[in-house]
Amino acid sequence: MWHSLPIEKILEEFKTDAQNGLFDVEVKKRLKDFGPNQLPEEKPISKIRLLIGQLKSPLIYILVIAGIVTLILKEYADSIIIFGVVFLNAIIGYFQESKAGQTIQALRKMIRVKAIVFRQGEEREIFQEELVPGDIILLRPGDKVPADGRLIDAWNLKLNEAVLTGEWLPSEKNTEILPKDTPLADRDNMVYMGTVVEYGRGKAVVTATGIKTEIGKIAQTLKGTKAEKTPYQKKVVHFSKVLGAIIVFLCLGILIGGLATGKEFFEIFLTAIAVAVAAIPEGLPVAVTLVFTFGMREIFKKKGLVRKLIAAETLGSTTVICTDKTGTLTEAKMQVAGIYTGTKELLSNGKRF
């Protein structure tokens, strides 16, 4: 609705001033009322959950069942080997994913978005999460818009709003009042969190922060979606089902055949269990985990970051990556590559001659 109201009315609604902004006392109060200006994030996985997560595999389930059966039959040597394999597999996966998680948290702290805000008549640089509704923000080329806002001033301002609208062409901004039913993509007097300033400058009053922003609403909608299984996970599930079926049929065949020939049930049962345990590839989970670990380390060496081991397998077959460039891969800032005079080259790639 803010796009259809005069700027004076909006400033009055938020009890703020276009020149001086909010007072610190009011900022603290609003920060308490509205919460930090950040999108919902997944809570860091606890160490226990991370460790248990390494056991969520059909192959591991089969190994655990085999280990319990051998333990009941007092085949302690086999039990120790099987549970040892399960433990080793869990530990390797746990340490690799734990290390990746710590690196991601460190990166998040390093790349925190900052915003230029007017408070108590002063221009300040603050972290994005400290913004509150009613703050007056300044937008410059290369800036990522830190919150939703209504433009107060716009000087040749153009924004890339592809993250929100899908339109790759820059959107020209102004401060004109628009009709109430204007679609989101055509609200040229508004700026939205996550979009990027490509050209010009602007000044806006913050109208929404955090999950109340347009991008925040999308994030909330996507929060409940389940991640699709990777090709590896699908193959493991299929392999485990086939392996389980083969083992069951083998055991039934041995039991029926043994009983038909007049052998004792307990003796045939032990034989069937022995065959079942022998048919289970105890070393496969560890071997696969080690392969993924080496793959993850190779990605680390090339300055890549993988949160989960199984993602390494999917990345191995990736040919095209679609990503935002400005503000993500680049900063939209010009850099001097070389200086040339009429007689000689003075600077090239940052090196002086």
What is the DSSP-derived secondary structure letter of residue 2?
Answer: G
> Distances from the Cα of 231 to the Cαs of 85, 268, 331, in angstroms?
24, 39, 35
Mean pLDDT, the chain, whole residue set: 81
pLDDT at 231 over 60: yes
Tell me what pLDDT residue 149 has.
Answer: 92
Which residue of the set 33, 78, 188, 324 is catalytic? 324
Query: Tokens at residue 227, please?
Result: 């991640």
77 or 270, which is more confident? 77
What is the DSSP-derived secondary structure letter of residue 217?
Answer: H
**Mean pLDDT for the stretch of residues 279-302:** 75
Tell me what pLDDT residue 269 has.
Answer: 78
Tell me what pLDDT residue 117 has.
Answer: 93
Tell me what pLDDT residue 135 has.
Answer: 92
pLDDT in tens, 232-249: 778 877 887 888 888 888
pLDDT at 351 over 60: no
174 or 218, which is more confident? 174
pLDDT at 345 over 60: yes
pTM above 0.85, yes or no: no
277 or 202, which is more confident? 202
**Mean pLDDT for the stretch of residues 203-217:** 89
pLDDT at 151 over 90: yes
Number of neighbouring beta carbons within 10 Å of residue 175: 17
Tell me what pLDDT residue 222 has.
Answer: 67
Q: Which amino acid is at 95?
A: F
d(CA 23, CA 27): 6
Tell me what pLDDT residue 226 has.
Answer: 66
**Mean pLDDT for the stretch of residues 272-296:** 75
Told to judge if 324 belongs to the known catalytic residues of this protein, a careful annotator would answer yes
147 or 299, which is more confident? 147
Identity of the highest mean pLDDT range in 105-109, 262-266, 284-288, 343-347: 262-266
pLDDT at 304 over 80: no
d(CA 292, CA 314): 10
> Distances from the Cα of 70 to the Cαs of 214, 279, 353, in angstroms?
57, 14, 75
148 neighbors 204 (Cβ within 8 angstroms): no
d(CA 217, CA 219): 5
**Mean pLDDT for the stretch of residues 159-165:** 84
pLDDT at 107 over 70: no
Domains and their CATH numbers in the chain? 2-27+112-220 (2.70.150.10), 47-109+226-315 (1.20.1110.10)
**Mean pLDDT for the stretch of residues 138-148:** 90
Tell me what pLDDT residue 353 has.
Answer: 46
d(CA 285, CA 290): 9
- Could you tell me which residues are beta bridge partners of residue 155? 201
